[in-house]
A and B are shown apart, each in its own frame.
Chain A
Amino acid sequence: MPRKSSPAAAPAPDAPVLPPTPPGLLDLFIAFAKMSLAGFGGVLVWARRGIVDQHRWMTADEFNETFALCHFLPGPNIVNLSVVFGARFRGIPGGVAAFAGLVFPPMVIAIALAALYARYGEIDALRRILAGVSCAAVGLLIAVVFKMAMPLAQRREVTALVILIAVFVAIGVLRLPLQMVLLVAIPLSLGITIFVRTRGKA
């Protein structure tokens, strides 16, 4: 394979920060595949590092805004982020390319692990290992819950905390269906939030 000699028209190393060149479809796929494969226990940190620090495709503020949008919409946040991000640069094909990069490479790994599990799942040593891993994984999830709840507790947002606990009890203890609980909780929470904010301004 002939190696490319260093091109004469190399881009200046200190070219303007934003935006160097909008990423192509393959760039999007590869960038999201890399973030995704690096992301054990959540891709968000790696997505920020890749998009903001490494590729400089967005400023930190743009990234926060886009993530906030994807967080309040339903569905897997980081998946939403990949689609919105890819589509911003390359339209719908860009969204699809970023999504494919995010989901399909780790999917291959997960399915390979699951196939091993289906084949060898009854082996005692593997059973014990998985049991240990899932204990630790539950702990990680619980830590995320407390990290997210801390700001609410620190700002003493009593109504928000009451809603939080009500949803926790309805889903976790009473085991009610998700849709039923949210069809009550979303309008309630929205109403309270609007009421509190308008009263705060008056």
Chain B
Amino acid sequence: MNSDANPIATLVWTFAWMSLFAVGGANSAIPEMHRVAVDVQHWMNDRQFADIFAISQLSPGPNVLIVTLIGYHVAGIFGALAATVAMCGPTAVVAYYVSGILARSSHSRWPAIIQAALVPLSIGLMGASGLILALTSDRSWVAGLITVAAAVLAFATRLNPLWMLLAGGALGFAGLI
């Protein structure tokens, strides 16, 4: 525990710095969130991290809500606000200025090149997120089966993902996991 540091300051610093490297969005940064929250700062254990991920997916809204919930877990409402603004603010400022620059020079070929270079990175990061979350969530073969079934259904059909979350919850409630 970093009891000597102000937890809100630690949250702000952690997520502001992390956001600048969150290539591909909040889900790409989940391994880093897990590393910091569980292994480095000891804010929570594996199970709590998996639960927070589940709650963030049960809530409507952007994926960045997982950061809100980590902040809430660490330092209540103010922690939630501080972590969210820290995760969103710096990159929003960058996006604002870059979009202004690009609007003035619309025929630059750099955006396409940068995008092509970053796409494999962001997919690799999200794949790592999937692996780490699977290792923290799937503690039995039935649990693993539910993950695989949800992945296949979401990949192959246009079913609303909320149904799969509810089905997972129902199977969990029935004591199958």
1/0 per residue A66-103: CB within 8 Å of B?
10111111111111100110011000100100010011
Does any Cβ of A come within 8 Å of B41's Cβ?
no
Write out the residue numbers on chain A whose beta carbons fall within 8 Å of the beta carbon of B53. Answer: 134, 137-138
**What's the least CB distance linking B37 to chain A, in Å?**
13
CB contact under 8 A between A139 and B96, given known A37-B61, A43-B61, A121-B51: no
Which B residue's beta carbon lies closest to that of A91? B96
Q: Tell me the bound Cα distance from A92 to B92 in angstroms.
A: 11
How many residues of chain A have a CB within 8 Å of chain B?
92
Of A83, A192, A197, chain B has the most CB atoms within 10 Å of the CB of A83
Q: Tell me the bound Cα distance from A192 to B169 in angstroms.
A: 44
Does any Cβ of B come within 8 Å of A178's Cβ?
yes
Q: Establish whether residues B91 and A145, one from each chain, have CB atoms under 8 Å apart when the complex forms.
A: no
Does any Cβ of B come within 8 Å of A133's Cβ?
yes
The DSSP consensus for interface residues of chain A is helix
Q: Tell me the bound Cα distance from A141 to B132 in angstroms.
A: 11
Does any Cβ of B come within 8 Å of A132's Cβ?
yes
Q: Establish whether residues A182 and B21, one from each chain, have CB atoms under 8 Å apart when the complex forms.
A: yes
Does any Cβ of A come within 8 Å of B114's Cβ?
yes
Q: Tell me the bound Cα distance from A96 to B152 in angstroms.
A: 38
Contact of B121 among A84, A129, A185 (CB under 8 A): A185
1/0 per residue B67-97: CB within 8 Å of A?
0110011000100100010011011101110
Q: Establish whether residues A168 and B124, one from each chain, have CB atoms under 8 Å apart when the complex forms.
A: yes
Contact of A110 among B69, B130, B132 (CB under 8 A): B69
Write out the residue numbers on chain A whose beta carbons fall within 8 Å of the beta carbon of B153. Answer: 139, 143
CB contact under 8 A between A36 and B61, given known A146-B151, A179-B21: yes
The DSSP consensus for interface residues of chain B is helix
Q: Establish whether residues A133 and B165, one from each chain, have CB atoms under 8 Å apart when the complex forms.
A: yes
Write out the residue numbers on chain A whose beta carbons fall within 8 Å of the beta carbon of B144. Answer: 135
1/0 per residue B153-177: CB within 8 Å of A?
1110000111011111111110111
Contact of A161 among B92, B120, B137, B149 (CB under 8 A): B120
Which B residue's beta carbon lies closest to that of A197? B113
Q: Establish whether residues B119 and A160, one from each chain, have CB atoms under 8 Å apart when the complex forms.
A: yes
Write out the residue numbers on chain B whose beta carbons fall within 8 Å of the beta carbon of A110. Answer: 55-56, 59, 61, 65, 68-69
Q: Establish whether residues B91 and A73, one from each chain, have CB atoms under 8 Å apart when the complex forms.
A: yes
Write out the residue numbers on chain B whose beta carbons fall within 8 Å of the beta carbon of A182. Answer: 21, 23, 121
Q: Tell me the bound Cα distance from A109 to B173 in angstroms.
A: 22
1/0 per residue A24-68: CB within 8 Å of B?
000000000000111111110000000000000000000000101
Residue ranges of B at the interface with A (Cβ–Cβ < 8 Å): 17-27, 29, 31-32, 35, 39, 50-65, 68-69, 72-73, 77, 80, 84, 87-88, 90-92, 94-96, 98-99, 102, 111, 113-134, 137-139, 143-144, 146-155, 160-162, 164-173, 175-177
Q: A71-B24, A87-B96, A140-B165 are in contact. List 15 more A-B contacts (CB 8 A).
A: A66-B99, A72-B114, A76-B62, A107-B84, A110-B65, A111-B80, A134-B51, A136-B146, A139-B147, A143-B155, A145-B126, A146-B155, A148-B119, A167-B128, A178-B125
Q: For the complex of A and B, list the 4 residue pairs with the smallest distance between their C-beta atoms, beginning with the closest.
A: A132-B172, A75-B91, A106-B61, A139-B150
Residue ranges of A at the interface with B (Cβ–Cβ < 8 Å): 36-43, 66, 68-80, 83-84, 87-88, 92, 95, 99, 102-103, 105-107, 109-111, 113-115, 117-118, 121, 125, 128-149, 152, 157, 160-161, 163-168, 171-173, 175, 177-179, 182, 185-186, 189-190, 192-194, 197
